[in-house]
Chains A and B, each alone.
Chain A
Amino acid sequence: MVGIRQQAAFHTDRDAHGRQLSASEREKLLKPYLPAAPEKQAASQPPQNSKAAQLFNHKPRVRPALRHAIHYLLFTLIHTIFSLYIRIRQVNHALVDRVLAVLYYHHRTPELIRRDVKGLSKVPQHLSVILQLPPEGGKKDRLEALVHDACEVAAWSACAGVSMVSIYERTGILKSSLQHLHRRIERNLASYYGATSPLKPTVSLRAPHQSSYSPPHSPEPSSHGTAGSSRPHITILLISASDGRQTLVDLTRTLASMAQDQKLQPGDISAELIDAEISESVMGEPDLLICFGDRVVLDGYPPWQVRLTEIYGVQDHRGGVEYHVFLRGLYRFARAEMRFGR
């Protein structure tokens, strides 16, 4: 550790007596903390190739080998201890998760969810989640699990009052049948709110570059023309890995063709132009991104939009999509302070 006097000297470039330090003096201060100079023996050894010199010129072999053995032993020891620590931590987190899951179970009741959310100072306008296709299982089972997760997330967000949800799933398999997914979401919402509740939100399902799907609802009365329909509305957007980097590549291709046709100068390309294009064709910036895995990895999530997004993931969480993780994400978002560089 650098001593106190040396620290102060480094801060202001003067030593204890107020004299300006010279370069060599500073180096002297630092010398004890540096690694050894790289050995330049290798260059000088080849010339001494006489046999006698080889006999008497033995390279140090034992000590580096011993050191290496000690390091390896210590490495295995540290990793054993660490695996133990990780297991304990995982068990601990699992226990806490279980307790929270029981405490905060939503019971499919929107009122409970709304009560949980009431104390929060702010709720994200645009919420985003990263879902994962379960790795094992038959194709239909995996898709079924994924659809179930998506419906649950949609229902919780609708109850919490979020107006836009974007669901990211790497392979994009959810986009293959918007109609089916919409029906499932409606069914799930009905199980939460009751089939004919005036508070049940209307859902419109969208994917970039595909037309939106929001079928007309039969019990829609003629009060459609009144200012602000009585039912809240939630928009669900499905995105996949191709909406990430690939979209930026497509945009670059378009700009390149335009530049080749002299419709555009490269100097005209600015961040605002790209932002306008991308947010219009894919999605805007989410306020909160929740990862339900055991560590925070973006895994192909669109890079442009995630600039100021709060990214939340519970450590060591292995239970998949669960309500308490969602709630904790919302709590974290409410506490966050935005500083914008200030």
Chain B
Amino acid sequence: MASTQGASLRRWLFNLPPVDWVVHQLRELLINTLKCGPIPQHIAFVMDGNRRYARTHKLETVEGHHLGFEALARILEVCYKSGVKVVTIYAFSIENFKRSRYEVDGLMDMAKLKLVQMSQHGELFDRYGASVRILGDRTLVRQDVLEQVNRAVEMTKHNEQAVLNVCFPYTSREEITRSIRETVREFSTPTQRVKGQRGFSETHVLRNLRRSHLSSVMEEERPRKHDVSKSDEYHNDADSSEISDQEDLDASTTLQHSSSQTSHSPSPTLNPSTGKASPVRRKQPAHFRDPETLTEAHLDKNTYTFPAPPLDLLIRTSGVYRLSDFMLWQCHEGTEMKFLDCLWPEFDLWQFLPTLLEWQWRQKREGVDEGGRGGLLKGM
């Protein structure tokens, strides 16, 4: 099993134990120093360039993917040790199903192997406090891989410190579509108005109203007309059905409110409305939430990444300058997008460090600027 990178002197040198230890300590030191400054809370990676790397280094494509997985493990280590809360990676796109069957099967098998390994080492994730979530349209995945997926998710569900979102198989448009569909579904299920929650009984209010109306009718003959029209309104109003509903509910609740006991002795004007309300109730449209109350927050809630903080940094390797249907909804605001030229298997702390440092530097500068501007405003 010859080394995959070729027998280079440099690699042998770095594998010597003392040198290895020094490099390891240096990495630890660097990561801990980074923690002293602001760290992005949510980073997304597009792991591009595995196949190209394999091609240029004359390896099998699957081997390229294995090296990519190792690069991922290194980067995850750096991220979690620095204190990043959520890391999202783009493992497999729905578009990738168009690749050759051999490659797709190979990728699925590799995914299964890695997931099995992950499930057997649940304790490793516990050390980092990381839970694994698999985002995407699971119906497109083979059954055996799906089992492993579910097992891995179950095993790490209890960790709360950090999250690893694996997008497999994922397309951002599918996510947005699904989010819209779920929101529409929420808004099109009739809601049950939770009655009796407010402590005021509607029948009581109505009876007081009627009493004041009746008293005014007793005094003058004129407002007879008003009374009739009002009772007509009550027939057609949604409230009429609610009166009957309310009476039923008042009977069933254990609220020892005085009105609930007396509401069963119907006042003379209530009776005819109760009788007429029941057939109206059946034709009554169910109560829906007003679509005008729909906001971005509802759509946000139904995305796959939901409880995650907004995306701070998106890194794509291999010199491609596209988003390719990844995190379109999440990165449309203030996410900084870095397109790097190195290939994913080569991506390591040394390439990642300048990006993180620049992010930190910019955050500190913006913080200073805002503080300065705020001070200026206060001075004015």
Q: How far is the CB of B143 from chain A (nearest CB, A)?
A: 21
B34–A311 touching, CB < 8 Å: no
Which residues of B from 263 to 291 have beta carbons under 8 Å from A?
288, 291
User: At the interface, is chain A mostly helix, strand, loop or mixed?
Assistant: helix
Count chain A CB atoms within 10 A of each CB in B97, B337, B354 and give the residue with the most: B337
A332 interface hit (Cβ, 8 Å): yes
A298–B180 touching, CB < 8 Å: no
Q: How far is the CB of B176 from chain A (nearest CB, A)?
A: 7
What are the interface flags for A1-16 relative to B under an 8 Å C-beta threshold, 1 for contact and 0 otherwise? 1111101101101001
Measured CA separation A11–B337 after assembly (Å): 32
**Chain A contact residue count (CB 8 A cutoff):** 73
A312 interface hit (Cβ, 8 Å): yes
A71–B294 touching, CB < 8 Å: no
Q: How far is the CB of B344 from chain A (nearest CB, A)?
A: 15
B173–A271 touching, CB < 8 Å: yes
Query: Given A256-B291, A300-B333, are A27 and B81 also a contact pair (CB < 8 Å)?
Result: no
Query: Given A1-B23, A71-B35, A274-B177, are A86 and B183 also a contact pair (CB < 8 Å)?
Result: no
Which residues of B from 125 to 183 have beta carbons under 8 Å from A?
127-129, 172-174, 176-177, 180-183
Q: Which of A139-147, A150-158, A334-342 contacts B (4 or more CB under 8 A)?
A: A334-342
The interface residues of chain B lying within 8 Å CB-to-CB of A310 are: 321-322
B233 interface hit (Cβ, 8 Å): no
B63–A11 touching, CB < 8 Å: yes
A341–B93 touching, CB < 8 Å: yes
B180–A303 touching, CB < 8 Å: no
From A1, A74, A256, A257, contact of B33 by CB (8 A): A74
The interface residues of chain A lying within 8 Å CB-to-CB of B360 are: 79
Q: Which of B184-192, B202-210, B219-227 contacts A (4 or more CB under 8 A)?
A: B184-192
The interface residues of chain A lying within 8 Å CB-to-CB of B198 are: none
B378 interface hit (Cβ, 8 Å): no
Measured CA separation A197–B73 after assembly (Å): 61
Which residues of A from 255 to 285 have beta carbons under 8 Å from B?
255-257, 259-260, 266-267, 269-271, 274-275
Q: Which of A34-42, A55-63, A91-99, A221-229 contacts B (4 or more CB under 8 A)?
A: A34-42
B29 interface hit (Cβ, 8 Å): yes
Query: Given A71-B33, A256-B184, are A1 and B15 also a contact pair (CB < 8 Å)?
Result: yes
A260–B173 touching, CB < 8 Å: no
User: At the interface, is chain B mostly helix, strand, loop or mixed?
Assistant: helix
Q: Chain B, interface size: which category?
A: 35 or more
Q: How far is the CB of B194 from chain A (nearest CB, A)?
A: 20
B329–A308 touching, CB < 8 Å: no
B70 interface hit (Cβ, 8 Å): yes
A38–B127 touching, CB < 8 Å: yes
Which residues of B from 335 to 360 have beta carbons under 8 Å from A?
335-339, 354, 357-358, 360
B332–A300 touching, CB < 8 Å: yes
Q: Which of A105-113, A116-124, A182-190, A242-250 contacts B (4 or more CB under 8 A)?
A: A242-250
A86–B322 touching, CB < 8 Å: no
A341–B332 touching, CB < 8 Å: no
Q: Which residues of A contact B (CB under 8 A)?
A: 1-5, 7-8, 10-11, 13, 16, 23, 26-27, 30, 33-35, 37-38, 67, 71-72, 74-75, 78-79, 82-83, 86, 244-246, 248-249, 251-257, 259-260, 266-267, 269-271, 274-275, 295-304, 306-312, 332, 336, 340-342
9 inter-chain pairs at a CB distance below 8 angstroms, sorted by A residue, are A1-B14, A1-B24, A8-B1, A34-B127, A245-B332, A252-B299, A260-B187, A301-B332, A306-B328
- 3 closest A-B pairs by beta carbon, nearest first, are A341-B95, A259-B188, A303-B332
